[in-house]
Amino acid sequence: MERKSPANRSLERGLALLRAFRPGSTLLGNGELAERTGLPRATVSRLTQTLVAGGFLQHDQAARAYRLGAPVLSLAYAMRQGSEILRAALPLMRETAENQRINVGLACADGEEMIYLESVRRHRASMFRHITAGSRIPMELTSLGRAHLATLPKAEVERMLALFRARRRAHWPALQKEIRAAIAAVERNGYCRASWQPGVIALAAPLPGQPGYVMNISLATERLSEQEIKTGLVSLLRGLVQEVAARL
C-alpha cells in the first residue's frame, strides 16, 4: 500500500505541463502538451490559460503554441541565490577550474535525470555539447548520475535500475554492469568514473552530508594518462568535495 501524500491534482498537472518544456521542445501547443502529459485536451486548455495568466507561459499567436515566460527565469535566479550549497561551492569550483584547467560541475537529482546547478568550464565557449546551469543529463550514463545512485538506499537503486532498463533495452546487460560497478566504486573509493561525452572523461563524487548533491570534474581524454588520473585527479576531486562540505 503506497503512502499517498495528499497531493493536489490540478497543481500536479500544471507543473507537468511546465515540465513538458525542454530544450528542443520549447514551443508547444495545447495538442502537443495533451499528448506529452496524457491529459485531456479540455483540461490542458484550461490549465494553460491559468499558466498564461500567471505569466509562466506566453502564448505565441503566430505559432499557435506556448513558450515559457520570464517569471521562470526570475525563479531560477531566486533559486540560485537561495542555494547555500551553490554559494559555498561556486568560488571553489571557479578556482579549481581555473588552476587545474578542467571543468567542474555541481548537480542534483530530479527524477531519472541529473540537473546541473552549475558547470564551470575552463574554456567559456565550451565543448560541442552545451552544458550550463539547468542542463539535464541522463542519470544512468554519467558519472554524476551514478555517483548519485550510490547514495540511494538499495531498494531505491533497484527501482531506478528498473526504469533505466525499460529505456535502454538494447545495451542493458553491459550498461547495468557499468552502473553497478560505479556504485561499488563509490562505496569503496568515494568516487566513480565515466565517459559519457566521447573524448571527455569525468570523475564524480557525492557531497558528504548533502544527500542528493554530487560534484564532478571532467577534461578531454587526450590530456591525460591513466597514471595522472589515479594520482592527481582523484585526490583533487576528493579534496574538492571535502572542502565544499566543510564550508556548509
Partner DNA sequence: GCAGTAATTCCACTGGATGGAATTACTGCG
Partner DNA sequence: CGCAGTAATTCCATCCAGTGGAATTACTGC
Which residues of the chain form contacts with its own copies (CB under 8 A)? 5-16, 18-19, 21-24, 26-27, 46-47, 49-51, 53-56, 67-83, 108, 110-111, 115-117, 132-136
The answer to whether residue 216 forms part of the interface with DNA (CB under 7 A) is: no
Which residues in the 16-35 window bind DNA by CB under 7 A? Answer: 29-32
The answer to whether residue 219 forms part of the interface with DNA (CB under 7 A) is: no
β pairing state of 200-206 and 192-194 = antiparallel
Q: Which is nearer to DNA, 60 or 187 (CB)?
A: 60
- Residue 99 interacts with, from DNA, its own copies, none (CB under 5-8 Å by kind): none
Among 1, 62, 155, 166, binds DNA (CB under 7 A): 62
Report whether 62 contacts 28 (CB < 8 A): no
The Cβ of residue 20 has, within 10 Å, a number of other Cβ atoms equal to: 18
153 burial via Cβ count (<10 Å: 0-12, 13-18, 19+): exposed
Report whether 70 contacts 55 (CB < 8 A): yes
Q: Which is nearer to its own copies, 24 or 153 (CB)?
A: 24
Q: Name the minimum Å distance from CB 47 to its own copies.
A: 6
Q: What are the two backbone dihedrals, phi and then psi, of residue 47, each rounded to the nearest 5 degrees?
A: -65, -40
- Residue 173 interacts with, from its own copies, DNA, none (CB under 5-8 Å by kind): none
The answer to whether residue 40 forms part of the interface with DNA (CB under 7 A) is: yes
Q: Which is nearer to its own copies, 16 or 220 (CB)?
A: 16
The size of the interface with DNA (CB under 7 A), counted in residues, is 27
DSSP-derived secondary structure letter, 207: P
The answer to whether residue 81 forms part of the interface with DNA (CB under 7 A) is: no
Q: Name the minimum Å distance from CB 48 to DNA.
A: 6
Q: Name the minimum Å distance from CB 76 to its own copies.
A: 3
Q: Which is nearer to DNA, 49 or 132 (CB)?
A: 49
Q: In 3D, which of 203, 176, 177 has the Cα closest to residue 190?
A: 203
Q: In 3D, which of 92, 55, 90 has the Cα closest to residue 75?
A: 55
- Residue 111 interacts with, from DNA, its own copies, none (CB under 5-8 Å by kind): its own copies
Report whether 218 contacts 201 (CB < 8 A): yes
The answer to whether residue 42 forms part of the interface with DNA (CB under 7 A) is: yes
Residue keyed to cell 515566460: 69
Residue keyed to cell 588520473: 229
- Residue 51 interacts with, from its own copies, DNA, none (CB under 5-8 Å by kind): its own copies
Q: What are the two backbone dihedrals, phi and then psi, of residue 71, each rounded to the nearest 5 degrees?
A: -55, -30
Q: Does residue 100 come out as left (phi exceeding 0), alpha (psi in the -120 to 50 range) or beta?
A: alpha
The answer to whether residue 51 forms part of the interface with DNA (CB under 7 A) is: no
